[in-house]
Amino acid sequence: MRTLFDPKRAMKSRQEDGHLSRRRTAPKRGAFVLGRLLCVVVLVLATTLGKAQEFPVDLTELSLEELMNLQVTMVSRKPEKLWGAPAAVFVITQDDIRRSGARSLPDVLRMAPGIYAAHIDANMWVVTIRGFAGRFANKLLVLIDGRSVYTPLFSGVIWETHDLMLEDIERIEVIRGPGATLWGANAVNGVINIITKSAKDTQGSYLSAGVGTEERNFGAFQYGGRIRERAFYRVYVKYAERDKFGDPPGYKAADAWSTQRTGFRIDWDASHEDAVTLQGDIYGDELGNTHELVRVVDNTLQQKVFTATGTYSGMNVLGRWKRTLSRTSELALQVYFDHLKFDDAIVKETLNTFDFDFQHHFAIGERNDVIWGLGCRYPSEDADSMFTLWDRPARRTNRLYSAFLQDEIALVLERLTLTVGTKLERNDYTGLEVQPNVRFAWLPHERHMVWGAVSRAVRTPSRAERTGHLVTSVVPPDELPPGTPMTLLSFAGTSEFVSEVLIAYELGYRSRLTDWFSVDLATFYNDYSNLRTGEPGDPIFESEPPPPHVLYLVTPMNKADGTAYGGAVEADFQVRPWWRVRGAFSYFTLDLRPRKDTKELSVEDREGDSPKKVVYVRSSMDLPRDLDLDVIARYVDEIPNRHYTDEAGRSVRVGSYLTFDVRLAWKPVRNVELSLVGQNLLNSPRVENDCELGLAVPTKVQPGVYCGVSWKF
């Protein structure tokens, strides 16, 4: 824990112990040159083709009105128009994904206002909403087609195991703010649901491939067909290989990774009332990282910086049945099984999750729209003991049972609605949790909408916080007063740690001011209680493993409170029929208050774990001769509480940066697209974030250029 010892500060003194090469590779000059060339091409196109007068447009993006009429399901668990949803909701469409040039989910999510996504290294990310950033952001719930990908061991998402086929995503719905009333514990600061296309919409063949400097090579093949008149299927296979990032000071980066994935989906309209979906995936990843861990080497405790290769593999299968009872009533039943196995330098674990979810949606008259449901989840974890991280017992199941009820009441038809509801959840760690919310939506005019909400949400303990034991760092005797033995710091879970609690207040305004300009503003004030602290215990002298050392156990407790406030504004400007500009600005600030009885010294330091300001601007042009041109600019503020070691051995905070991505695409013939993409073309190489507890050494994001081709036939 940083409370007693910051392993980054001792990096320089331990560098001579590492067995890695000290050679520093030169920056990838080819990427810089290609990036600059691509910028020149962009300028030429913008100043020549952009001068063209009105020309036939093949603009596949939605118009502003069509965007407002998009159907979203995350806010109320039933389809509703984005325009009237009483929440800070943002939708990333398939066209947004295609034109962004992004090759991973975290890079795609940067488009959503209020989301902070950053690299730790080439295969490890930080993704969070409204603060509390970290490798395992524990206040964000992520779903893929309604299947939770939350990892109970550390409370977070292992993003590198979800390298989906991006072309199959229909849309990504992002909710900023609590969604616990409908989606349960850990949907505290936000919910992300990734929704894939129906098999009916992916008929025929699709082939894509590409090569580049960072995206070394990638490819995908998909085929969709018909089983019977109203039954469709698709199968796919995907492969990608990514290069490592820039070397950390004194060491050689080892964060290259490769991934393989295959899967299927079947959609069957069994009758006019019944629809059935069956889908599944199998995947395997091999990736490397540079770690700074405490290990037993030659029967002696040592803290070293070293490289290691990890493997991740898994499979999932999901079945969903929907039955339409009437025009205003339907049932839905979903069951899935998820298997995940990972083996890296920190932990070896197998996680099996079985989940059952039932919901019933119906209307009572014209003014009441009711939805209720039941659910249960059985995540079974089996973790192998390692010296760095171990747990007793090795196998554990934390059963979760839930029920929810929500009623949307039309106080004034088509003008004012009030939504009230709550969710009851029982888990084996903290027992019964109650998570209610109240929301309103007011439409004073057909072009203006105001909404607000008050919600309660909880973040339940992870397995590591209750029963885990993580060795974080060693302080060698030469860094301590004379005569003091080696000191070992260890994070030890406890049954006394309970849920963190949020009471959130939100207010938003959404408007389509004209046919060519819209704006969406959302603000929030979050009141947190029972936040986690690290409480150091009394020293314990141990002789095993050698050498003799003093052990300090740091235990998680709920001895801090805090408040956060901020907001995000997004604007969509249709400059011309062939040119659209979209932008977003997000602001966030956090105030943590340690309680009088806490012994942690660094509670307030964690206020600087997330950037205060993030700006995103995107320009999309449909140019003559079937050319698409997209330019994306991102600005991210500094992160005061995140540090890395520079070339001089100094501890440096992660600074602010401005960067550009550019995508130029051309369709020489129908259904064939060639693309040239430049990423991180400014302010690179750079460190974007580090990993908590020094478990991974951050590497420097590199500029990259890749070219790709896709063919639908």
Does position 32 have pLDDT exceeding 50, yes or no? Answer: no
Give the position of tokens 């029967």.
Answer: 299
For residue 49, how far is the Cα from the chain centroid?
37
In sequence order, the β-bridge partners of residue 665 are 628, 675
Does position 2 have pLDDT exceeding 70, yes or no? Answer: no
Indicate the pairing of strand 140-144 with strand 190-196: parallel
> In residues, how long is the chain?
713
Q: DSSP characters for 414-449?
A: TTEEEEEEEEEEEETTTEEEEEEEEEEEEEEETTEE
Across the range 186-208, mean pLDDT stands at 96
CA-based nearest residue to 109, from 82, 77, 144, 154: 144
Q: Are 626 and 594 in contact (CB under 8 A)?
A: no
Across the range 508-524, mean pLDDT stands at 95
CA-based nearest residue to 127, from 96, 149, 146: 149
Q: Are 578 and 621 in contact (CB under 8 A)?
A: yes
Using alpha carbons only, what angle is made at residue 155 by residues 152 and 158, rounded to the nearest 5 degrees?
90
pLDDT number for residue 165:
95
- Backbone dihedral angles phi then psi of residue 498, each to the nearest 5 degrees: -120, -175
pLDDT number for residue 381:
83
Q: Are 459 and 556 in contact (CB under 8 A)?
A: no
pLDDT number for residue 346:
75
- The structure's pTM equals 0.89
Give me 406's structure tokens.
């929500």
Positions of E strands within 54-203: 71-72, 80-81, 88-93, 115-119, 125-129, 140-144, 147-148, 169-176, 190-196
CATH class of domain segment(s) 7-610+617-712: mainly beta
Positions of E strands within 24-180: 71-72, 80-81, 88-93, 115-119, 125-129, 140-144, 147-148, 169-176
Tell me the three state secondary structure of residue 28: coil
Decide which of 302 and 324 is more confident.
324
Does position 60 have pLDDT exceeding 70, yes or no? Answer: no
Distances (CA, A) of 242 to 213, 380, 405, 591, 693: 9, 32, 45, 38, 26
pLDDT number for residue 544:
78
Tell me the three state secondary structure of residue 346: coil
What is the rounded CA–CA span in Å between residue 542 and residue 555? 18
Does position 17 have pLDDT exceeding 90, yes or no? Answer: no
Indicate the pairing of strand 579-594 with strand 348-364: unpaired
Positions of E strands within 269-388: 274-297, 300-326, 329-343, 348-364, 368-384
pLDDT digits (tens, 9 = 90+) for 548-590: 888 888 999 999 999 999 999 999 999 999 999 999 999 999 9
Q: What confidence tier does 83 reach under pLDDT thresholds 50, 70, 90?
A: confident
Q: Long-range contacts made by residues 220-228, C-beta under 8 angstroms, separation at least 24?
A: 220/165, 220/167, 222/165, 222/167, 222/168, 224/199, 227/266, 227/268
pLDDT digits (tens, 9 = 90+) for 114-154: 999 999 999 999 999 999 998 888 999 999 999 999 888 88
Decide which of 50 and 114 is more confident.
114
What is the rounded CA–CA span in Å between residue 329 and residue 332? 10
Q: Are 570 and 113 in contact (CB under 8 A)?
A: yes
